[in-house]
Amino acid sequence: MRRLVTIPCAGETIAATLDPAEGDTALLIVSGGNELRIGAHRGMALLAAAVAAAGFPVLRYDRRGIGDSTGTNGGFLSAAPDLMCATAWLRAATCAKRIVAFGNCDAATTLALFHGSAGIDRLLLANPWVVEPTNDLPPAAAIRATYAQRLVSPSAWRRLLTGRVNFGRLTRGLVTLATDRRTPTGLTNRFAEGLASGTPTDILLATDDHTARAFLDAWHLRHLSDLRARIPVHHHASASHSFARPADRDWLRAQVLVALSRDWAAATAPPARR
């Protein structure tokens, strides 16, 4: 039976939802942006119910200052205490010996940065937010992909030739492409440093999502080659940032269940000597 619970955190109260199950591996769902723990289109609530039905307990929570939680919303970079308190509560309240954490967008970044201090055992990071915008335009990687699509689109050419195009925005997009040098940002570097500990991690991307495209662009920077060699990236052909469509939800659920069911002993064993 789904339970509403409260978790003390730094003098405030975190509102959370537990879907109980008897398994010894649990799922912690971290919400991105200012999204409530139910998720866009009830996606995280549906995911939690399906995962619990498969035998894994699931906890979702609103960080401080969001939804039913008290306190001030300090954004994803200040969410380490919330993550630590939720993880500790989940371990104490269930039979879980291992915790897999899932986060989308800047919740994925929160997990990459702070999972070590929370003692999380495995990460599922969806569409990670690693490129901060500098204006009201999408990241350069998303602009490149959009322009590539429009070059082969007859309707886009008709709009251009008939003047039904925002030329100011078009010009700013071209300037962004001309000045983009694909250099690492501070957030990209912090994300990479957070994953350097070697915690088992999978990255999930909706390949037509702007945030996913920006991440993939940063992911192929030269200095991240060691992480690329170790961390698998799983692609799903969708533009839905929140995996909202039925096929998207099915794919995400399958990825989560695979991660929860992994052979942990094999995954954490040292490599055999040659």
The per-residue pLDDT for range 91-150, each reduced to its tens digit, is 999 989 999 999 999 999 999 999 999 999 999 999 999 987 655 555 555 444 444 454
Q: Which stretch of DSSP H or E encloses residue 170?
A: helix 167-179
In the chain, % of residues over pLDDT 90: 73
Q: φ and ψ at 29, to 5 degrees?
A: -105, 120
What are the pLDDT digits (tens) for 189-223?
A: 999 999 999 999 999 999 999 999 999 999 999 88
What number of other Cβ atoms are within 10 A of residue 154's Cβ? 7
β-pairing, 122-126 with 98-104? parallel
Tens digit of pLDDT for each residue in 150-169? 444 565 545 655 655 554 55
Q: What is the helix (H) or strand (E) element at residue 236, kind and residue range?
A: strand 233-236
Tell me: the pLDDT tens digits for 58-108? 999 999 999 999 999 999 999 999 999 999 999 999 989 999 999 999 999
Give whole-number Cα distances, 216 to 31, 102, 142, 204, in Å.
21, 18, 10, 11
Q: What is the mean pLDDT of the chain?
A: 86
Residues of each domain in the chain carrying CATH 3.40.50.1820: 3-132+186-262
Q: Tell me: pLDDT of 48 over 90.
A: yes
State which fold the 3-132+186-262 domain adopts: Rossmann fold (3.40.50)
Looking up tokens 């919330």, which residue turns up? 82
Encoded tokens for 251: 């794919």
What is the pTM for the complete model shown? 0.82
**pLDDT at residue number 163:** 57
Task: Choose among 29, 65, 67: nearest CA to 47.
Answer: 29
Which of 39-53, 71-85, 170-184 bottoms out in mean pLDDT, i.e. has the lowest? 170-184
